[in-house]
Chain A
Amino acid sequence: RKEVEQDPGPFNVPEGATVAFNCTYSNSASQSFFWYRQDCRKEPKLLMSVYSSGNEDGRFTAQLNRASQYISLLIRDSKLSDSATYLCVVNDGGFQKLVFGTGTRLLVSP
């Protein structure tokens, strides 16, 4: 079983749609959680950290459920520029030893 599981997609949505991605992780000792964005043939870039209380950054909302070991990302009012692969990432303990999911691909169409 993978440490971080994501639906690979692709998710095809029209502009303006709301889309949600989910992710589960296996290590209950994981300490911190992130969503990264990766454009085609580019490096991963931090989109947002994920906190237990839930957090929002503009059109993006991230939630964490430690009991279920589940992380989500909600994107509202999708833009064409949101098309990318979204990586669910977990820090397995100290010093940023990150564990990546395989990513969920999002395609936003006009």
Chain B
Amino acid sequence: EAGVTQFPSHSVIEKGQTVTLRCDPISGHDNLYWYRRVMGKEIKFLLHFVKESKQDESGMPNNRFLAERTGGTYSTLKVQPAELEDSGVYFCASSHSEKLFFGSGTQLSVL
């Protein structure tokens, strides 16, 4: 069974540019989450989808971040415009029960 896949694995962009991260959850998992770890800090919750609906987006840092999950399958997280403090590892996770399965993350570097 395929796990949670994220693309790209690394992204290096300049401040002010736009970046879109993609997450493909495990097939059949209605719940999809985005988390982020910035340097030296703990992993933090960004938002949670149930199918195509945003269940909880309380962790989204500001309106430069936009997450979508059209059709309830894959999800995208767009950062526009990117700032230096957005650098970090963005993890996606999916679940159909209590256990979350994480993707290997996207390392985002904003220069």
CA distance A7 to B58 in the complex (A): 27
Given contacts A87-B43, A101-B42, A103-B42, contact A96 B95 (CB under 8 A): yes
Q: Which of A96, A98, A100 has the most CB of B within 10 A?
A: A96
- Chain A residues, CB < 8 A from B99: 46
Residues 40-67 of B contacting A (Cβ, < 8 Å)? 41-45, 48, 50, 55-56, 58-59
Looking across the interface, which residue of chain B has its beta carbon closest to that of A91?
A: B98
Find A100's partner among B31, B44, B50, B103 (CB 8 Å cutoff): B44
One digit per residue, 1 when the CB lies within 8 angstroms of any chain A CB and 0 when it does not, for chain B 76-105 equals 000000000000000100010011101111
- Check: A102 CB closer than 8 A to any chain B CB: yes
Q: Please determine whether A46 and B43 come into contact, CB atoms closer than 8 angstroms.
A: no
Find B55's partner among A42, A95, A98, A100 (CB 8 Å cutoff): A95
Q: Please determine whether B42 and A32 come into contact, CB atoms closer than 8 angstroms.
A: no
We find that the number of chain A residues with CB closer than 8 angstroms to chain B is: 19
Q: Please determine whether A42 and B95 come into contact, CB atoms closer than 8 angstroms.
A: no
We find that the number of chain B residues with CB closer than 8 angstroms to chain A is: 23
Q: Please determine whether B91 and A44 come into contact, CB atoms closer than 8 angstroms.
A: yes
- Chain B residues, CB < 8 A from A97: 45, 48, 56, 58-59
- Check: A59 CB closer than 8 A to any chain B CB: no
Find B31's partner among A44, A87, A96, A101 (CB 8 Å cutoff): A96
Find B45's partner among A4, A49, A98 (CB 8 Å cutoff): A98
The chain A residues found within 8 Å of chain B, CB to CB, are: 2, 4, 32, 42-46, 49, 87, 95-103
**Known pairs A46-B99, A46-B100, A97-B59 / 4 extra A-B pairs, C-beta < 8 Å:** A95-B31, A97-B56, A100-B44, A103-B42
